[in-house]
């Protein structure tokens, strides 16, 4: 009986010690993913409005595009890249980030 109670206690402690932090991490990942998705959609809307009517030469307006996709300063660094249909890099804002980081396509 004593070993059963000890085994149950150990199992319970391991579950609490592992599942609770993993649940918190998964929740935090979801929140961060939603924030990045929102930022990406806002940026995409601004860029799409700028490109409309400039379909042939928008890739050459890198400085203006960088201004359009600039986000207000925040505690979390964000690196944004803008590519054309040929997957050529047009604008790259922010510094190269050291991992771990969340990447959205």
> What's the Cα-to-Cα distance from 8 to each of 3, 4, 19, 48, 62, rounded to whole Å?
8, 6, 16, 58, 62
List, in sequence order, every beta strand (DSSP E) within 2-61. none
> What's the Cα-to-Cα distance from 93 to each of 11, 12, 27, 34, rounded to whole Å?
48, 47, 28, 20
Integer Cα distance of 44 and 36 in angstroms: 12
With 90 as the cut, is the pLDDT of residue 27 above it? Answer: yes
Integer Cα distance of 17 and 34 in angstroms: 27
Confidence at residue 102, expressed as pLDDT on a 0 to 100 scale: 67
Confidence at residue 87, expressed as pLDDT on a 0 to 100 scale: 87
Where do the domains of the chain lie?
2-93
With 80 as the cut, is the pLDDT of residue 94 above it? Answer: no
pTM over 0.85: no
Confidence of residue 105 (pLDDT cuts 50, 70, 90): low
What mean pLDDT is reported for the chain? 84
Three-state DSSP class for residue 99? coil
Confidence at residue 75, expressed as pLDDT on a 0 to 100 scale: 64
């Amino acid at each position: 009986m004593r070993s059963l109670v000890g085994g149950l206690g150990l199992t319970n402690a391991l579950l609490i010690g592992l599942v609770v932090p993993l649940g918190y991490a998964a929740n935090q990942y979801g929140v961060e993913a939603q924030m990045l998705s929102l930022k990406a959609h806002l940026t995409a809307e601004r860029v799409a409005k700028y490109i409309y009517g400039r379909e042939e030469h928008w890739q050459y307006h890198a400085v203006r595009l960088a201004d359009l996709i600039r986000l207000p300063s925040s505690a979390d660094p964000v690196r944004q890249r803008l590519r054309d249909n040929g997957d050529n890099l047009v604008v790259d804002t922010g510094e190269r980030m050291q991992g771990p980081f969340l990447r959205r396509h």
